[in-house]
Amino acid sequence: MSKFKDAGHLFRFAGLFVLLFVVFLVVRHFVVPKSFGKYGHYRADAIGEVAAHPAKFAGHETCEACHSDVADKKGKGKHAHVNCEACHGALVKVLPAPPPPTPNLYERMVALVIKPMPVDPPVLRHAEDPASVVPELPDTTVLCARCHTASAAKPKGFPQVVPADHSNGLACKTCHDPHSPAMDAGGTK
Binding residues for other proteins, per CB under 8 A? 15, 18-19, 21-22, 25-26, 29, 34-57, 59-60, 79, 81-83, 85-87, 89-90, 94, 97, 100, 117, 146-147, 149-155, 158
Min CB(185)–other proteins separation in Å: 18
State the Rg of the chain over Cα. Answer: 32
Nearest to 91 by CA among 48, 65, 70, 60: 60
Nearer of residues 123 and 185 to other proteins, judged by Cβ: 123
Tell me whether residue 1 or residue 29 sits nearer to other proteins (CB atom): 29
- Which CB sits closer to other proteins, 22 or 185? 22
CB of 174 to other proteins, least distance (A): 21
* Angle (CA) 151 153 156, round 5°: 80
Contact 87, 114 (CB under 8 A): no
C-beta atoms surrounding 185 within 10 Å: 12
Shortest CA distance to 188 belongs to which of 86, 80, 78?
Answer: 78
Rounded to an integer, what distance in angstroms lies between the CA atom of residue 51 and that of residue 40?
A: 18
User: Which C-beta is closer to other proteins: that of 66 or that of 97?
Assistant: 97
Q: How far is the CB of 1 from other proteins (least distance, A)?
A: 27
Cβ at position 131, least distance to other proteins in Å:
23
Question: Rounded distance, CA 151 to CA 161, Å?
Answer: 9
- Name, in order, each residue with C-beta under 8 angstroms of 124's C-beta and a sequence gap of 6 or more: 93, 132, 133
Choose between 97 and 170: whose C-beta lies nearer to other proteins. Answer: 97
Q: Shortest distance, CB of residue 189 to other proteins, whole angstroms?
A: 21
